[in-house]
Structure 1
Amino acid sequence: MTKPQSGTWSTAKNVGEGDVLKVPRPKEGEGLTDVHLATLTVNPPTAYNVLRDFVDLEEGDWVVQNGANSAVGQAVIQVAAARGIKTLNFVRNRDNLSELVKWLEGLGATKVLTYDDLSDKSVRDKIKEWTRGKGIKLGLNCVGGKETSLMARLMGKDAHLVSYGAMSKQPLSFPTSLFIFQNLTSHGFWQARWYQANSREKRQELVNALIDLAREGKLKAPESEILTLEADKSDAAIEKEVREIVKKVSAGRYGKKVLLSIETHESQHGS
C-alpha cells in the first residue's frame, strides 16, 4: 500500500490499482523478509529519497543526521553505506550507549555521537579531522529544536538541511548567518507527498531498488515485535490483543515497530 491512511484492520478490501505496488514473495535463504515488505513503503523510501533528491552526493561525501537510531535513521546509514557515503550520526545519550553505537556501526555508520557532543568545541575539531575539512553537504533532521540548530552549524557552505520529522515537537531556529554566509537551504520532506507527485512507474522503481538492497544484505529489516492473530479467535479477543500491543508501543520511546499478521484457516476469509 502506498496511499496514506489506508486503514489498519480489514479482512478484505478493494483498492485502486495505483495505490498498491508489486513486491516479490520472500524466498528462504535470501535477505528479503516479510518485515522488509511490511515496512517497505514508509521508512526505507524516506531514507532513499532524502539521500537522492536534494544533493548530488558522491562516494566519500558526508551526511549528518539526528535520530540516527530511528527506523529512518538506520535505513539512511545502510543506504548511504551501500553508496560509499559516510555518515555522522547523533543519538540521545543513554545507559546502553556503547551497545547502540556498536549496533549502528554494524549497520555501516561511520561515526556516532550524542546530542551532548554538539556543544563541545573539541568534538567539532574532531569532526573536521574526520571529514578532512570537506564540507558536509546534507543534513537530515527528524528531531527539531536546539539539537538541530547546533547540528546545522556543522554543515558546509551551500549545504541542504532536510526535515522529515519533529520528534521533540520543538520549532527549528537558526542564526541568520547560516543563510547569509553559509547559504544554507532548508527543506521539508514527506514521503506521502512524494508518492502523490510521482508516477506509478517511479514508485515501482523505488521499491525495486530497496528490494535489491535487501536481497543483497545491504538493508536490514527494522527490529520488530511480531504479533500473530489467529483467525479462529473472536473479534473481542483479537481487539484486546491489539489494544495491549498499542499500549506498549505508545509507552515506548522512538523507533518501536510492530508487525501484525493473521493466521487463517481454509474455511475462513483472511489476509
Structure 2
Amino acid sequence: MSKICAKYIFRTLFRIQEHGSTNATFTNVHRRYASSVNSMSVVYNEYGNPNKVLKTENCQLSKCLQADEVLVKMLMAPVNPSDINMVEGTYFMKPKLPAVAGNEGVGEVLDVGTNVKSLKTGDWVIPNQAGFGTWRTHAVADYPRLRKISNDIPPLSAATIVVNPSTAYRMLKDFGNLKPGDVVIQNSANSAVGQSVIQIAKAWNLRTINIVRGRDNLDDLVEQLKQLGATHVVTEEFSRTPEMKELIKSLGAAPKLALNGVGGKSATELLRHLASKGVMVTYGGMSRQPVVVPTGVFIFKEVTAVGYWNSQWNIENDTSPERDTMFEELCDMIRECKLIPPPCEIFELENYSEAVRSAMEGFQGKKKVLSMQDFQ
C-alpha cells in the first residue's frame, strides 16, 4: 500500500481535523428529531461574485414526506470550479433562482416516501444530475433526482465521484479505442481530473505522459503524481523541446489520446505529439485561450479534435446501464485503493465563505470540501 493511500484511508475513515473537528463516521447520525428537521443552506438569489451573493438560509423541512420524496442528510460536498461559475452566471447551465449552491456531494437517506422502493434509510446517495444544490445540511427531493452509491467507501470519495473521476473515466473509455500498453498524454495533470486520469489509466494498464506547469516545488509534485501511477511527468517548457520527442520515441508509440484541460498553446503542443489518427479531447480551458489546431496535423496526421462535457453525458445517459457500470467500477477502484481523491481541505458548512474565498484564489494544491457533520 502506498504512503498516499495509507494516509488517505486514515484521514477519511477515522478523523479529519482541519477547519474544525469533523467526525467522519457517517452512519446512524442525526435521527433525533420529531416532525421536522432544521436545514441550513447556502443560497443565492442573483448571479454574481460568490463572495457577495452567497448567504445562508435556515428552514424547517417536514418529516411528513410525499409518496415519491426522500429526506436526505448531506454529509460532504466539494467546492468545484463549476459551482463557482454557476453562481457567477457564467456556466453553460443556469439553475432557476433562488438556488442552493453546489452540484456534487454525498448524503445519507433518513426517510423515504411510500412509493420509494429503490432507496431505504441508511443508504448513501449522490445527485443524479447537476444543479441539485448540495451545499446544505438536509434536503427533500423526489427520488429520481438521487442515485444510490456504495456506503462502504470513504465519504470523501463518494462526495467527489460524480465530476472528476467520472470525467476521467469517460474520456479514457469513450475516445481513442485504447488498449493496454497504449499511451495517453494530458496537460493539467495535477488537477483533480488529471489525477483521476493517472490512476484509472494505471488500473487499465495504460501509460501516461503528464504535463504540468513549472513551479518551485516541482520535484514534490512529480513524486506525488508518480506515486499515483504516472509513467512520465514533464513541464510545459519541456514539452516544447526536442527532448520531448525523444521521450515519446523511447515509449515505442506516440500517444493515441490527448486530454486537454488548458487550451491555448498547451493544447497545440498536445496535438503535435499525437499519433496519426489520434484524438484530442478538450474538457476544460484553464488558460481561457482558444484551441488552435495546426493545419498540418489535420491534413497529414488526420487527428480528431472533440469536446467532452460530463454534465451532458449524464443527461443523455440518465438511465443507461453504462452509467451504473461506471460507478460500480469506480467504487471497485476506490475499495482497492486504486483511486483516491486529490489532497483536500475540509471546512464546516458554516465556514462556506472561507472555503469559497480560498477556492477562488487560484491553484493551491488542495480541493476545498464542505462537511455538514457537525450541524445539529
TM-score scaled by structure 2?
Answer: 0.64
- Report the AA paired with residue 274 of structure 2: M
Identity of aligned residues (%): 40
Counterpart pick for 2:241 among 111, 120, 123: 120
* Residue 277 of structure 2: aligned partner: 158
Q: Find the partner of 1:17 among 143, 164, 172.
A: 143
The structure 1 segments of at least 4 consecutive aligned residues displaced by more than 6 Å after TM superposition are none
Q: Which amino acid aligns with 2:371?
A: S
Q: Give the SS at the match of 2:291.
A: coil
1:109 corresponds to: 230
**Pair 1:96–1:52, CA change in 2 (3 A):** same
Q: Name structure 2 gaps, 5 residues minimum.
A: 1-126
What CA distance in whole angstroms lies between the structure 2 residues aligned with 1:160 and 1:188?
10
- Partner amino acid, structure 1, of 2:128: T
Match in the other structure for 1:139: 258
Name 1:29's counterpart in structure 2: none
- The question of whether the paired residues in 1 share the 8 Å contact of 2:198 and 2:208 is answered with yes
Q: Aligned with 1:139: secondary structure? A: strand
Question: What is the one-letter code of the residue matched to 1:192?
Answer: S
1:217 partnered with 2:337: yes
On the 8 A contact 2:342/2:366 being kept in 1, the answer is no
Give 1:85's aligned amino acid.
L
Structure 1 counterpart SS, 2:289: coil
The answer to whether structure 1 residue 246 and structure 2 residue 356 are counterparts is yes
Per-residue deviation, 1:248: 1.2
Deviation at 1:202, TM superposition (A): 2.9
Residue type of the partner of 2:266?
E
Greater helix share, 1 or 2?
1
Alpha-carbon deviation of 1:204?
Answer: 2.2
Larger strand proportion, structure 1 or 2? 2
Which residue of structure 2 aligns with residue 232 of structure 1?
A: none
Q: How does 1:10-159 map to 2 (within 5 A)?
A: 10-26=136-152, 32-129=153-250, 131-132=251-252, 134-159=253-278
Deviation at 1:89, TM superposition (A): 0.4
| Structure with bigger RCO (C-alpha 8 Å, 6+ apart) | 1
Rg larger in 1 or in 2? 2
- Choose the corresponding residue for 1:7, options 128, 133, 153: 133
Kept in 1: contact 2:128–2:318 (CA 8 A): no
Is the partner of 1:21 in helix, strand or coil? Answer: strand
Check whether the contact 2:282–2:306 (CA below 8 A) recurs between aligned residues.
Answer: yes
Distance 1:169 1:255, change over 3 A: farther
What amino acid maps onto 2:370 in structure 1?
Answer: L
Total equivalences in the alignment: 249
Take 2:310 and 2:230, find their aligned partners in 1: how far apart are those partners?
23
Secondary structure of 1:68 counterpart: coil
Q: SS of the counterpart of 1:258?
A: strand
1:259 corresponds to 2:373: no
| Distance (whole Å) between structure 1 residues aligned to residue 267 and residue 179 of structure 2 | 24
Residue range with higher mean Cα deviation, 118-127 or 34-43: 118-127
Kept in 2, the 8 Å contact 1:105–1:111? The answer is yes
> In the aligned structure 2, how far is the partner of 1:73 from the partner of 1:101?
13
Contact in 2 for aligned 1:35/1:222 (Cα 8 Å) = no
Alpha-carbon distance in 1 for matches of 2:370, 2:149: 18
